[in-house]
Chains A and B, each alone.
Chain A
Amino acid sequence: DTEVTQTPKHLVMGMTNKKSLKCEQHMGHRAMYWYKQKAKKPPELMFVYSYEKLSINESVPSRFSPECPNSSLLNLHLHALQPEDSALYLCASSQAVFAADGGETQYFGPGTRLLVL
């Protein structure tokens, strides 16, 4: 089973709201990722967690705050977003960030489609 789940599927929020995106996997993967994808563009990496520790932050604005409560869960807390933050937010997981024999292969969740008004 290579399933990564994300909730909610859709989210509409105002610029003053606080909301959270959730991601879960039960494959025993120890690396989890947040990506942002705009229409007709490839996914852009935002954050990487390895063994529940933040290992990469791709200079993401502080209005996006990731959290990894345990090895199966990854959250993305949103606060004071801008309309240009509207996008598909994808979570992914892999056995490890870098490994031999395919362990770094990433599996994506279905995404949360976010609209900021």
Chain B
Amino acid sequence: RKEVEQDPGPFNVPEGATVAFNCTYSNSASQSFFWYRQDCRKEPKLLMSVYSSGNEDGRFTAQLNRASQYISLLIRDSKLSDSATYLCVVNMRGPNFGNEKLTFGTGTRLTIIP
């Protein structure tokens, strides 16, 4: 089982629709969770950090379910500018302090269609 697993897509969604992505992680000791977006040939940019039970930022809502070990991202009223690859990222704690590192999912490609 992959450490962080995402549906690679692609998701082709009409403008204005709502789209949701799920991501599962294997390490139950994981402490922090993030969604990054990455545009073609650009660097990943932080979209949202996800702590405790989840959080909302405008049209974006992230949820965390520790019992089932998944996080989700919901995008409402999607815009053309939302077209990007969305990376699910988990901070995995290693066996020794100091071995924590981000583990990336493979990313979900989203295209918003006019």
Using a CB–CB cutoff of 8 Å, the interface residues on chain A facing chain B are 41-43, 45, 48, 50, 55-56, 88, 90, 97-98, 102, 104-111, 113
Contacts of B93 in A (CB 8 A): 98
Residues of A within 8 Å of B101, CB to CB, are 45, 48, 56, 97
Number of A-B residue pairs, CB cutoff 8 Å, is: 50
Q: Are B99 and A45 in contact (CB under 8 A)?
A: no
Enumerate chain A residues within 8 angstroms of B42, measured Cβ to Cβ: 110-111
Q: CA of A109 to CA of B45 in the docked complex: distance in angstroms?
A: 9
Which of A41, A97, A105 is in CB contact (< 8 Å) with B34?
Answer: A105
Q: How many residues of B contact A (CB 8 A)?
A: 24
Using Cβ atoms and an 8 Å threshold, which residues of chain B touch A106? 46, 102
Partner of A42, one of B41, B51, B106: B106
Q: Does B49 contact A (CB under 8 A)?
A: yes
Contact A41 B106 (CB under 8 A): yes
The answer to the question of B104 belonging to the interface, with a C-beta cut-off of 8 Å to chain A, is yes
CB <8 Å contact, B102 and A45: yes
A-contact bits for B88-114, CB 8 A (1 contact / 0 none): 000101000111111011110000000
For B51, B93, B98, B100, the residue with the greatest tally of chain A CB atoms inside 10 Å of its CB is B100
Is A98 a contact of B100 with CB atoms below 8 Å? Answer: yes
